[in-house]
């Protein structure tokens, strides 16, 4: 089985700091390589992998202001698709744009839908749903208008998250700084609970940060730790009394939620989107509907067994489990194609010529 893994190029794979899609791609790629599966990773040239690496983009466009994001994305996708004939399957993690190539190759394409940035992009998925298989990352994030071959939860590497049964007293909000993530609500919860709050994450909305977050950052009761790297992430998560996740949107997954539990840290989240799938209420954290309930949950965190948080995360959200899920999907797709006739590609396309 030869797999072409198409990663985004917004960040390196794996990311140095923020970059959840790239992180999931890295976890999957390295897990597949450990299973002796032949994987070629299409990502930025500075990516780190045990797989074969092919790249036309030297560095992520978010780390090189000289690059135009749309140009880099088109070049990257085109570069990968021109080599489609070399592989048994293309696994696309690049949202909807690669779907436009799906009718131009006989190599099957699997697309993991990491979330819908807008309802308007659903049209692109529907346009190509007869030519592409779709995987959802949670049952809550499925569109009723699309056929799915499976749901495969995102998986994380347990080796990067160390268990801690003796946390410190601070609350943690580990998210990109954006209104959707409710960082300002986390500040309100922490103040009412009379707990110190540490905030870590990429500032994605400067205006929101300046108006809703920065005025409360006093480096005492509220501390902003910046955009944490993997080592800092582990230390922040494992030492937190609890993680606050008061989201304002129906989040498709929530990688930091699973990462926190992997460290043994319970999560208090607003009961939206995939949160009921990630958190076992009153067992690995609390699902709440508002700030008042979140404050009550903070006072009840001592009832949560941090060992149970770790075991739940290992059971449901390990990289090993994700790899198992995707291998089963790959085999299902390839088995189905062997049972039906596939149109022969043109000679030019077989040679990887321009489309």
Domain ranges within the chain, ordered by starting residue = 2-155+318-350, 158-315
- Domains 2-155+318-350 and 158-315 equal at CATH topology level: yes
Phi, psi of 64 (to 5 degrees): -145, 100
Does the domain made of 158-315 have the CATH classification 3.40.50.2000? yes
pLDDT at 342: 52
Burial of 218 (0-12, 13-18, 19+ CB in 10 A): exposed
Q: How far apart are CA 348 and CA 215, in angstroms?
A: 60
Residues counted in the chain: 355
Q: How far apart are CA 171 and CA 161, in angstroms?
A: 18
The 10s digit of each residue's pLDDT in 63-98 is 888 889 999 999 999 999 999 999 999 999 999 999
What does the pLDDT average to over 292-304? Answer: 97
* pTM (predicted TM-score): 0.91
What does the pLDDT average to over 321-348? Answer: 77
> Which structure tokens are listed for 21?
């899609």
The 10s digit of each residue's pLDDT in 44-67 is 999 999 999 999 999 999 888 888
pLDDT at 338: 80
pLDDT at 347: 32
Other C-beta atoms lying within 10 Å of the C-beta of residue 44: 26
The 10s digit of each residue's pLDDT in 128-183 is 999 999 999 999 999 999 999 999 999 999 999 999 999 999 999 999 999 999 99
Percent of the chain with pLDDT over 90: 90
Other C-beta atoms lying within 10 Å of the C-beta of residue 302: 10
Average pLDDT, the chain: 93
What's the CATH number of domain 2-155+318-350, 3.40.50.2000, 3.40.50.920, 3.40.220.10, 1.25.40.10?
Answer: 3.40.50.2000
> Which structure tokens are listed for 186?
């986390």
- Indicate whether 37 pLDDT > 90: yes
What does the pLDDT average to over 220-236? Answer: 96
């Amino acid at each position: 089985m030869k797999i072409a893994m198409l990663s985004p190029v917004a960040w390196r794979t794996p990311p140095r700091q923020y970059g959840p899609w790239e992180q999931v791609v890295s976890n999957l790629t390295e897990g597949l390589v450990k299973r002796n599966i032949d994987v070629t990773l299409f990502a930025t040239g500075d990516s780190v992998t045990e797989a074969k690496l092919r790249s036309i983009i030297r560095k992520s466009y978010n780390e090189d202001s000289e690059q135009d994001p749309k140009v880099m994305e088109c070049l990257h996708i085109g570069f990968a698709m021109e080599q489609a004939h070399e592989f048994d399957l293309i696994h696309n993690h690049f949202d909807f744009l690669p779907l436009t190539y799906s009718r131009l190759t006989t190599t099957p394409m699997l697309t993991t839908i990491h979330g819908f940035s807008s309802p308007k992009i659903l049209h692109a998925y529907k346009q190509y749903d007869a030519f592409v298989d779709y995987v959802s990352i949670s049952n809550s994030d499925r569109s009723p208008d699309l056929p799915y071959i499976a749901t495969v939860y995102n998986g994380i590497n347990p080796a990067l998250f160390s268990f801690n049964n003796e946390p410190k007293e601070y609350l943690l909000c580990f998210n990109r700084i954006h209104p959707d993530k409710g960082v300002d609500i986390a500040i309100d919860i922490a103040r009412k609970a009379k707990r110190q709050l540490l905030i870590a994450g990429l500032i994605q909305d400067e205006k929101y940060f300046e108006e809703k977050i920065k005025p409360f950052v006093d480096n005492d009761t509220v501390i902003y730790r910046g955009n944490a790297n993997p080592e800092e992430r582990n230390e922040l998560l494992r030492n937190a009394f609890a993680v606050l996740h008061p989201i304002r949107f129906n989040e498709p997954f929530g990688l930091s939620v699973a990462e926190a539990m992997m460290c043994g840290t319970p999560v208090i989240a607003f009961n939206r989107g995939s949160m009921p799938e990630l958190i076992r209420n009153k067992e690995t954290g609390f699902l709440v509907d508002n700030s008042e309930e979140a404050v009550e949950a903070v006072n009840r965190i001592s009832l949560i067994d941090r060992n149970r948080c770790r075991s739940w995360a290992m059971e449901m959200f390990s990289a090993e489990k994700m790899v198992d899920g995707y291998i089963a999907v790959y085999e299902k797709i390839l088995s189905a194609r062997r049972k039906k006739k596939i149109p022969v590609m043109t000679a030019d396309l077989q040679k990887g010529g321009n489309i």
